[in-house]
Amino acid sequence: MKRDLPDVTVIASPEEAIQHPDVDLVVIASPNATHAPLARLALHAGKHVVVDKPFTLDMQEARELIALAEEKQRVLSVFHNRRWDSDYLGVKQVIEQGLIGKVKHFESHFDRFRPEVRVRWREQNVPGSGLWFDLGPHLIDQTLQLFGLPQSVQGNIATLREGAEINDWAHVVLNYPQHKVVLHCSMLVAGGVSRFTVHGDKGSVVKQRADQQESQLLAGVVPGSESWGEDDDSLAVFDANLRASEISAPRGDQRQYYIHVRDALTGKISNPVSPLEALAVMAVLEAAAQSAESGTTQTLALTADELAGLQ
């Protein structure tokens, strides 16, 4: 930190940092079980708050934070940064342009190959851990942005790797009136599968490779640089005659989330990810987990007022 940002003050204690008089916005990117306690502390201190996904451990915690943010008149936002991924933006563009007609089957995968269980909180049996709570929020939020709330949810969540303490595989179906959505994540996919596969009544679109911003960061690419967010993996679009064509993937730019947060804090625009939208993601997360445990189809545990606010 001192090397890259020498003028930044580093404070070891989150409680002390939150109370600092120069702090206007608190960003919480700590283990999931600490999201609600730290966000609550920051809101009580009169700070605006960004919380990493998942919003909280459960819907009750999320509702309490939403009420507190309203009481304190502070911005509370959740870091659903994958709305600005190249793969998602490309598929969204194809759907909105009507190139495949009405969507009938939408499949979204976040798969990795990590057969060895790592010693880290995300893979330990602690509150808020597991692959579904880690990657599920990305898959769900993108889906809700495209299609709104599903009528019901069917979940199958499992622990497959030897020595694993918590789930590392999830297959979730969202039921809509006229189409189906499949959300899948796994830690045992060596060859990989398409990031998105979408079938409509006039054609299909396939996006093979995932957005590259995370890989670019790990490789040292600076956000906002010339190559930032570039994606040379085109989308394959198949028409009704089974002819294939390629469409270039748009540039991804997750920086847009914080640009929008800045503008929301100055009153120029609305919150880029409202806490109510994040509560909807929590509702799907919980419904899938309950479905997997009970073996039954679940509906979303949202109130009438919450449903009205999400329309």
Backbone phi, psi, residue 77, to 5°: -130, 155
pLDDT tens by residue, 185-194: 999 999 889 9
Is the model's pTM score more than 0.85? yes
Query: What's the alpha-carbon Rg for the chain, to the nearest Å?
Result: 20
What was the pLDDT predicted at 135? Answer: 98
Long-range contacts, 45-48 (Cβ 8 Å, 24+): 45/18, 45/19, 46/72, 46/74, 47/18, 47/23, 47/74, 48/24, 48/74, 48/75, 48/76, 48/265
Chain Cα centroid distance, residue 225: 24
What was the pLDDT predicted at 7? Answer: 87
Q: Under a CB-based contact definition with an 8 Å cutoff, are residues 242 and 227 in contact?
A: no
Going along the chain from its start, the domains and CATH numbers come out as: 1-79 (3.40.50.720), 85-252 (3.30.360.10)
pLDDT tens by residue, 106-157: 999 999 999 999 999 999 999 999 999 999 999 999 999 999 999 999 999 9
pLDDT tens by residue, 33-68: 999 999 999 999 999 999 999 999 999 999 999 999
Q: What letters, b where the CB count within 10 A reaches 16 and e where it falls short, cover 23-45?
A: eebbebeeebebbbebbbbbbeb
Q: What is the average per-residue pLDDT within 11-31?
A: 95
pLDDT tens by residue, 240-266: 999 999 999 999 999 999 999 999 999
pLDDT tens by residue, 215-243: 999 999 999 999 999 999 999 999 999 99
Taking the C-alpha atoms of residue 290 and residue 299, their distance in angstroms, rounded to an integer, is: 10
